[in-house]
Amino acid sequence: MGAGASDRPPTGASAAAGRMRGRLALADVVGLALALEARQALLESERRTQDRALAPVLADEQGARRLRRWVALSATPALALRVRRVVHAVAWTRAVFSLGGMLLGWSATSALLSIRGPGGRISIAACLGVLVALPFLSWLATLFGGLLRGRRAASDRAPLARPLHRLILRLLPASVRSDAEAIFGRARAHAALLVRLQRALATQFLLLGGVGFGIGALAATGIFVVFTDLAFGWSTTLDVAPERVHRLVGALARPWAELWPAASPSLELVEATRHFRVAPGSPGPGDALSGSSPLLYGGWWPFLVMAIACYALLPRLLTLPIVALVVGRECERVLRLMPGALALLESLASPWIESGGEGGQERASRALDAMVPEVALAGWMSRAAGGEVPVAIVWAEAISPAAIEAEIGAGLRIHAAGGRASVEADAAVVRAVAGSGGALLVCVRGDEPPLLELLDFLAALRAAAGAERALAVVLVGGAVRDLETWQRKLASLADSRLAVARIERANARGAA
Amino acid sequence: MTRPSDEAAPSGPLPRFAVVGHPNKGKSSLVATLARDASVAIAPHPGTTLVAREYPFRIDGVPLYVLIDTPGFQRARAVLAALESRARETNASAADRPRLVAEFLAMPGQRERFPDECELLGPIVAGAGIVYVVDGSVAYGPQYEAEMEILRWTGRPSLAVINPISSRDHVTEWEAALGQFFRIVRVVDAVNADLQAQSRLLKAFAELEAGWRAPIEAALAALERARVGRRIQTARAIAEWIAQALVYDVERRIAPDESAELHREALAAEYHASLARSERAARERVQAIHGHAALEARADELALLEADLFAEGTWLVFGLTRRQLVSAGAAGGAATGGVIDLAVGGASLLLGVATGAVVGGVLGFLGAQRLPELTLVDRPLGGRLVRYGPARSPGFPFVLLGRARLHARLLSRRTHARRDPVEVEAVPAAALPLDAVFRKRLERDFARLRAADDAALARAEATQALADTLQALLAADDSESAEAT
C-alpha cells in the first residue's frame, strides 16, 4: 500500500465498484486483513495523509461498507492480486467439495445398485439408508453444528471447522497459504474473531459436498434405471406386516405423492417385493427371479429418485442461500471487529486538526536572584527624608491624593504621571522634582504589571534626581506574588538606592 | 478530490486574529486554549512572550484561520504620542491613521525603541483582526486607554475579551469601558473555557469581517467532530480496560502438598500491582486521546484516582448501593445461568437463568466488597495451580468504570492553558450519578463480558457493546456539563 493514495489512481476501484452495494463477502475480509497489515507498515504521517485523502470519497458509506470501499480504493495491484488468489482458492475449495461429493454420490449409488442379493434383488432399504437417510441426518448435523450451535456457543472451539480448514490450508499452494490464513488460519491477530465465520464456511463446504452427493446419486440412479434392469426388494427378520412398511414409505412419499403418484409405492409393490430366504420357491444367490412381472421389481426406482431429491438434495439447496447469508453476516462482523478496523474508521471519520504553534517560541529569561528590597514605608521615610518634604508621584491614578496623604502623612508634594498624562507631562514632572529635595515615592498599582514605560520614567527620574536620592516604588494593593514580580522587574534598573514598599489596597480605597 | 475543509477554505486572505493587550492578562492562555497547544509559554510573571507566534488552525492540512499570540504593550503612550505627532505634522485625517501606523512601524529604529509594539502591531497592520484581552479581576485604569486608542488607529476590526483571571469583581466596569472602543465584548475564562465557550468566542471572531464566517464555521464543525471522535476513542479505551480487568487473574504453580494459603498475600500483591499498572496504562491512553499526554508526570497528584482499587474508600465513592449490587449480581448470575441453559439446549426450562439471578443477587448482597478469591486448580497433566482472581464482585466493574469516568470527565473539561495538576476534588463523586437506564445497560454489558470468559469473539462483541454504552454515557456527561455551563 502506497503512502499517498492521491499519488496514483485508486487501484481496483472500478473493478470493485460493481459489487460495492452487494453483500459483504470473504474477499472483503481477506482484503481488509491484508490491507490493515500493510497499513501497519506505514508511518503515522503516511497513514494520516492517506486517510484524509480518502475520507471525502468514503463519506457516504458507513461501517463495514466504508471499510470495504477503503480497501478497494487503497489497495495496490499486488494486494488486489493476493486477495484474488485467496478468493480463487475459496472458490476452488467449493468446487472440490462439490465435485468430491458428486463422485462419492455416484460411487456409492453405483455400488449399491450393483450389489445384488438373492434373485438379483437390490436392497431398497440399503439404498434408502445410504442415499437418503444418511445424507438427511448429516444435513441436520451440519446445520446444528455449523449454524445453530455455532451461533450460541460461547467458546472459541470449532471442533469440525478447524481441522477442516487446516486440511484446506495444507492443500493450498504455498503462495496462497499465507494469505488464506486471513480466513482459514489461527496465526493472524484477528484469528479469534474468525470462529463463527469458519464454522459457517465449513457448513457451506459440507452442504456443497452434500449437494454434489445428491446430484451424483441421482445421475447414477438414472443411468442404472435406463441401462440396466433393476430389481428392488426388501426383507426383514422382524415380523412386520407389509401394510406398516407401506404406511412408512407412503409417509415418506407424501411430499410428491400428488405430483407423481407413481413415485409413491403401492401396497402391491411392497408386498410383492418382500422376500424371505427360506420361503418355498425363493431363488438362491445368483438365481434369476421368476413368476411375477420383472417390471414390478423395478417399481421402486421413482420412489428412490424422489426420496434422494427431496431428502438428500432439496434441504441442502434450500439451506445454501441461508448459509451464504450467514457467511455474509459473519464477514461483516469480522470486518467490524477486526483489530485496527475501528481505529481506521475513526481516522476516516475524524478530521485531522492541527492548531499548534509554528516555529520556536522566544521566551523572556527571568533573573532569579536579583530583587529590589522591600522596605517598611514609615521607617524608610524617616530615614530617607533628611528633613525635607517627600515627593509623591502618583502613576496612572494608582491612588488619590487624599488617600496617599492619609497613608503617608500630610504635607507631601504630589505630582501625577503616567495613565492619561502625556509623555511630555511625565518629562515635566521629572524636571520639577529633580530640583527639589526629599525622598521620592512613585505610587503604582500593585496588581498591574511593571511596564517598560514606567521603568523608563524611573530611569529618567534617577538620572535627573541624582544617584544618591532616596527613591521608592510604592505598590498600592496587589498580592504577595505581585510584590515579587515588581521586585524582580525593578532589579533590571540596577539602582542600588531603589526600594519597594506596599500600601494595602483596603487603606487606599476609602479615599480613592 | 474535494474535502469539506477545501470548500470552507477562505477564498481571500486567511482570517488572522492577533491576540493583544496589556502584559500578563491571559493572552497566551487564550491562545493555548483555542489552539489546544499545551506548549504555549504561560507564566505568572509578565513579559513572557517576546515575539509574535502564529498558531494556524488546519483541517486535513488546509489552513482555515490563524491565531497570533503577541507580547503585551509596554510603551503605548510613547507610541501614541509619536503617532499623534506624525498626524499633526502631516495634517492627516482620521482616514489616514492606518497608513500612519504602518509608516510608523516601517521607520528605522522603531523596532529597537518599541520592540513589543512593533511585534504586536505588525500582524494587525498586515490585516489581522484584533482580539484585545483584559483581566476582569483587576480594576480598569487609564493606562489602558493609550493601547486601545492605538488599536483604533489601525482601523482593523476588533473585539475585546474580558478574562476574569482570579475573580469577576470588575467585569461590569470593564464592559462599560470596553464598549466605548470595541463593538463586540465577550467575557471568557481563558483557562477554563469549555468547548461551548470557545465556540461562542470563535463565532464572535467570525463576525469581525465578511468572508470569515465560512472558515470559522468549518473549524467549529471539525472541532465538534473531533470531540465526538475523542469520546468514541475514550469509550473504547475504557471498555477494553474494563474487559481486561474483569477476567484478570494471577496464577502460580505449587507443590502437591503445599498450602494455597501460603501464596495468598504474594498473589494478591501481584494482582493488585498488575491491575494498577494496567489502569495507569489505560489512563495514559485516554490522556493521549485528549492531547494531555504530559499529565503523566503528575500522576501522583491524582490523589483519589490513584487510590487502591480495592480500598474501602474507593468502593464508597464509586461502588453501588447494596440494592444496586443485588441487581447487578442478579444480572451477572442470570447471564451465567443462561449459558447453562444453552449448554443443555433449553432442557432446563430456563431454570439456569432464574437460579443464577437469585444466587447472583444474594451473592451481590453478601459479597458487596468481596475480594478476588484464591482457588486451586488441578492441571490435566498433573501438578496444581493456585489462582488469585478474577474479581467476581458485581460492584467491581462499576468501581473501575467510576474511576475511569471521573478521569475522562476531568480530561474532557481541561483546556491546554491549564498548567496546574488535576484537581479531583473539583468533581465530587456526587456529580457522577448513574441513572437507572445506564446502570441496567452496564449490568447487562458486564454480565456479557463475564459470560464471554475466554471466547475471543464473544468478548470482542461484548467489549464493543460496552464501548457503545460508555459512549452514550460520556455523551450524556458532556451534555450535562454543557447545560451546567
* CATH numbers and ranges of domains, chain A: 7-276+287-349 (no CATH), 377-509 (3.40.50)
Question: pLDDT confidence of A357, banded at 50, 70, 90?
Answer: confident
**Nearest-by-CA chain B residue for A151:** B458
Check whether A437 has a pLDDT greater than 90.
no
CB contact (8 A) between residue B75 and residue A361: no
What confidence score (pLDDT) does residue B152 get?
95
- One-letter amino acid of A406: A
For residues A31 and A71, the answer to whether their CB atoms sit within 8 Å is yes
State the pLDDT at residue A13.
Answer: 42
Triad B424, B398, B364: Cα angle to 5°: 140
Q: Give the C-alpha distances (Å, rounded to integers) separating A169 from A93, A323, B301, B305.
A: 10, 22, 55, 50
Plot region of B99 (φ>0 → left; ψ -120 to 50 → alpha; else → beta): alpha
Using CA atoms, how far apart are residues B187 and B164, in angstroms rounded to an integer? 8
The answer to whether A210 and A251 are in contact (CB under 8 A) is no
**Peptide bond before B390: cis, by omega within 30 degrees of 0?**
yes
Task: Look at residue A221 in the predicted model and tell me its pLDDT.
Answer: 94
Domains parsed from chain B with CATH numbers: 4-211 (3.40.50.300), 231-484 (no CATH)
Distance, in Å, from the CA atom of B37 to the CA atom of B53, rounded to the nearest integer, reads 12
For the segment A57-61, the average pLDDT, to the nearest whole number, is: 83
Partner residue opposite B46 with nearest CB, options A357, A362, A485: A485
Q: What is the pLDDT of residue B107?
A: 92
Mutate to test the interface with A, among B39, B51, B60, B114 (most CBs of A within 10 A): B60
Query: Average pLDDT for residues B87-97, to the nearest whole number?
Result: 92
Tens digits of residue pLDDT in A121-158: 888 999 999 999 999 999 999 888 777 655 544 455 55
pLDDT tier at B437, thresholds 50, 70, 90: very high
Could you say which of B1, B53, B455 has the minimum Cβ distance to residue A155? B455
Closest by Cβ to A350, choosing from B23, B51, B225? B225
Per CB-CB distance under 8 Å, the chain A contacts of B16 are none
Q: What is the pLDDT of residues B271-324, one digit of tens each?
A: 888 988 898 899 889 988 888 876 653 443 334 444 555 555 555 555 555 555
CB A295 within 8 A of CB A273: no
Mean pLDDT, rounded, of chain B: 80
**A507 has a pLDDT exceeding 70:** no
Distance from CA of A368 to the nearest CA of B (A): 12
Contact A192 B23 (CB under 8 A): no
How many whole angstroms separate alpha carbon A114 and alpha carbon A121?
A: 10
Helix (H, G, I), strand (E, B) or coil at B68: strand
pLDDT of residue B254: 87
How large is the ipTM? 0.74
Reduce the secondary structure of B379-446 to three states and give it as a string: CCCCCEEEEECCCCCCCHHHHHHHHHHHHHHHHHHCCCCCCCCCCHHHCCHHHCCCCHHHHHHHHHHH
pLDDT over 70 percentage in chain B: 75
User: Which residues of chain B neighbour A452 with C-beta distances below 8 Å?
Assistant: 74-75, 116
Q: What pLDDT score does A482 carry?
A: 87
Determine contact, residues A441/A391, Cβ cutoff 8 Å. yes
Instruction: Quote the minimal CA–CA distance from A479 to chain B in Å.
Output: 12
CB-based contact B1 A6, cutoff 8 Å: yes
Could you write out the DSSP letters of every residue in A440-467? Answer: EEEEEETTSPPPHHHHHHHHHHHHHH-T
- Asked whether the beta carbons of B4 and B218 are under 8 A apart, the reply is yes
Q: Find the CB nearest B455 among A154, A420, A485.
A: A154
Query: Are A361 and B41 an interchain contact pair (Cβ–Cβ within 8 Å)?
Result: yes
Determine the Cα–Cα distance for residues B9 and A433; give it in Å rounded to an integer.
59
Q: How far apart are CA B4 and CA B77, in angstroms?
A: 46
Average pLDDT over residues A297-314: 91
SS3 category, B49: strand
